[in-house]
A and B are shown apart, each in its own frame.
Chain A
Amino acid sequence: MADAFVPYNKRPEWQDITPIPQDDGPNPLVLIAYSSDYTDAMNYFRAISSKNELSERALDLTTQIIGMNPAHYTIWNYRQNLLLALNKDLHAELEFIDELSKERSKNYQVWYVASAVNPDFRATHYISPTITRHHRQVVVERLNDSSRELPFIAYILEEDSKNYHAWSYRQWVITRFDLWSGELPYLDELLIIDVRNNSAWNHRYFVVFEGPTKPTQEFLEKEIEFTKGKIRLAPNNQSSWNYLKGILARSPNPTTADDILASFCAELRDSEIVSSHLLASLVDVSEARAKRGDKTSLNQGVKVGRGGMIGYTGSPRLLYDAWLFMRCFETCLIFMPPVNTRLATTWQRSTTRSVKNTGCIASRTC
């Protein structure tokens, strides 16, 4: 692309076009101020799109505008028409998107949002990286060539390991081109780098259960052991806990699954680990057992929401644990009798002690 921007009205090849300025009406509701270059390019875009011109120079124009504002979905749509109508080399297009995405990812975070600071939904709304991602998907689908895709996604994930669009695009690529085999080793690596990467855990679940081969019982047992190891490493990591429960929920035998979870929790409790997920899992196990009519083997658990306790089973010692946990996280949570929740009512019925006993702790905590 040119180093300096030459206004379109100074370019010889555009002399036959009369630019159409944005007409916001005499008293516009929303006035938009543009930079002069952008305004210039957009005026010419309006002119050529009004007569649906499908030409090389129109393609160049979309390249120019997308470079300035990649969120402009109307331009992308026009560009797709152009690519097909002009029968352009789609590999070159892919290179263009690559460059755009990488450039953006470093400087403007348009295709994805690099900093851990930026919540991606805002990006979705504000700068619409889904447009670029979708455009790429269309191009790759047409090319029927995935050779560039996984390295490209890996590049993006290296910059931002939780990039939502990159992960969902990855799922499309591996499904569409049957590239399942390398996924688990790749995920092992990512989880070594960051065991709290929820995107990686989610993708792992996708690979295990949506892949072409159904996971065997043996494989799942290994997977459970793998996850337990990761939980021991970081007992307060909700991603690995959710994954463990997710796998166990797929088990054909719920009783065994509960036993596995219960004994794992017991093991962690014996090593004096304080974890909200551990305590909450005990409630889940007990609830599941109670639902099956087994109320004899109550585990000690407590489920603490951010606004207070939402489930409790076992002895008051548990409440002390919960209190410890909250001190650990330095979130002062108010214990209050659970109200109006199915979980709580289940547990009020099946616990031996009343939840109201928590009153004394409430005064100590807050």
Chain B
Amino acid sequence: MDRPQAGGHKPHGIARGPWRRQRQTTHVPPPTGQIPLYQLEQRNRPDVTQLSSVTLVILSHRSLWMDRSERTSSAKPPSQVKNGTNGTMTSLPATLLSDLHVQYIKSLDTIVPPSEFALLASRPEFTGIWPLQKKDDLEYWLTEHLRVNGVYWGLTALDLMNNIDALERDQVIKYLQDCQHENGGFGGHLNHDPHLLYTLSAIQILVTYDRLDAIDVDKVVSYVRSLQLPDGSFSGDEWGEIDIRFCYCAISCMSLLKRLDAIDVPRTVEFVVRCKNYDGGFGSQPGSESHAAMVFCGVGALAIVNALHHVDADLLGWWLCERQLGNGGLNGRPQKLEDVCYSWWVLSALSILGRVHWINKEKLISFILSAQDTEAGGIADRPGDMADVFHTLFGVAGLSLLGYPGLKSVDPVYCMPKHVIQRVGLAERYRV
């Protein structure tokens, strides 16, 4: 098997893959397996027999400055983390660096500013566009199919940070028009096949801009309707993959277009309820394990059509609040590591169920803030990792749900700015 020919870039050798590049490498993974009875404190203690004496010295030193609460999580010490891309030790940011994040998102769709281009081109190492690419190249083309999602993530984050004009509105709309297919669906990028995931993102962007007039809405409606199956579920595209995510996409999309009448809502609800598990959560398909992101899709879809009576709010709320770990971050399933994006998936569901106070807000806020890149901007999945636009949105949106000052309110059901949802008259029609 050939390896990806990405021009000899280093992610090849990294065991965790290019999309999880870390800004530093001193991460000690938590051991898996059984925890001895009562020995809770040993949970994340590394197996000392396997470590060199040097490491042991470092570990014992670590324990001196480690906060007690840190020992049950994989997090780095709270006071100092290598935060910058060059690995310098900096203090953790105590506030949201909005200006930096706005710059970061803006930088994603350019190679270099024109003003700097001439200078770079005059350098001896200049060999064309490739080395100048701002984004890490391998990841960038691997995620080509997510470009429309990327615009939605970026735009929504920008609007929540009061900077919606940082992207060229007309350019975005022209781009989306080019991504729409004859059958009404949107592809993830130019020349990519249509899919529900990107169709929803496109509609979300257009509604945010109040520019639904720029596309043929009826075609979108018939495209979404064509993907519904007899059991009420939706396939993501004509190839027939079925997933609760697509139910959410369809319902959210039709609701934003005010065309819920075009699909069979009761049957969709039936399918979503079939994805509910004994622990109160939702899985991607009937029988699949509960997963916080699927919980968001299930609860969000039911909230839109005001069918939350199918959810046991106490049972699910308990499962959701159990997602918070000692360092304040949230995970997506039991025994998984925390990740900033779950600040959205878990929190939005708790918010819809009216149970945000079941988690520790202060600790979650400081966890999200600690995952910021204080130099290049953006928010990563967890402290020390590379930032990306996906986690930037869900970090910012999570902070917004937690009432962080200076951010616009986000709607927990649509993951769009609340003022947009109010403008289109869809605000909070559900009851728990």
A residues sitting closer than 8 Å to B (CB atoms) are 1-2, 5, 22-25, 27-38, 46, 64, 67-69, 71-74, 76-77, 80, 99-100, 103, 107-110, 113-128, 130-131, 134, 138, 161-162, 164, 167-168, 171, 193-199, 202-203, 205-206, 210, 232-239, 242-243, 245-247, 249, 273-274, 280, 303, 305-308, 310, 328-334, 339-343
Q: Is the CB–CB distance between A35 and B5 below 8 Å?
A: yes
Cβ of A206: which chain B residues have Cβ within 8 Å of it?
A: 287
Please, which residues of chain B bring their CB within 8 A of the CB of A113?
A: 17
Distance (whole angstroms) from the CB of B33 to the closest CB of chain A: 5
Measured as residues with beta carbon below 8 angstroms from the partner, the interface class of chain B is 35 or more
In the assembled complex, the Cα of A328 lies from the Cα of B151 at a distance in Å of 44
Partner of B345, one of A121, A126, A162, A342: A121
- Residue pairs across A and B with CB atoms within 8 Å: the count is 298
| A-B residue pairs in contact (CB < 8 Å), sample of 10 | A35-B5, A125-B146, A126-B142, A164-B289, A205-B278, A247-B278, A305-B358, A307-B357, A307-B360, A329-B72
CB distance A99 to B151 under 8 Å?
no
What distance in Å separates the Cβ of B399 from its nearest Cβ neighbour in chain A? 16
Chain B residues whose CB sits within 8 angstroms of the CB of A2 once the complex forms: 2
Q: Cβ of A76: which chain B residues have Cβ within 8 Å of it?
A: 239
* Additional 20 contacts, C-beta under 8 A, given A119-B332, A330-B71, A330-B326: A29-B109, A29-B174, A31-B110, A33-B129, A35-B138, A69-B144, A74-B193, A77-B237, A107-B3, A122-B339, A126-B142, A162-B333, A167-B289, A194-B33, A196-B35, A234-B34, A308-B357, A310-B318, A310-B321, A328-B41
| Contact across chains for B287 and A118 when beta carbons are under 8 A apart | no
Segment with Cβ contacts to A, from B24-32, B51-59, B116-124? B24-32
Instruction: Assess whether B354 is interfacial by the CB under 8 Å rule.
Output: yes
Contact B239 A115 (CB under 8 A): no
Which of the candidate stretches B184-192, B226-234, B422-430 sits at the interface with the other chain?
A: B184-192
Chain B residues near A103 (CB, 8 Å)? 1
B-to-A contact residues, CB < 8 Å: 1-7, 12, 15-20, 27, 29-30, 32-35, 37-38, 40-41, 68-69, 71-72, 108-111, 129-130, 133, 135, 137-138, 140-147, 149-151, 168, 171-172, 174-175, 178, 187-193, 195, 237, 239-241, 243, 277-279, 283-285, 287-293, 313-314, 317-319, 321-322, 324, 326, 331-337, 339, 341-342, 345, 354-361, 363, 381, 390
**Chain B contacts for A5, CB-based, 8 A:** 2, 5
Contact (Cβ within 8 A) A22 B2: no
Q: Which residue of A lies closest to B5 (CB)?
A: A37
| CB of B247, distance to nearest CB on chain A (Å) | 15
Cβ–Cβ contact A235 & B37, under 8 A? yes
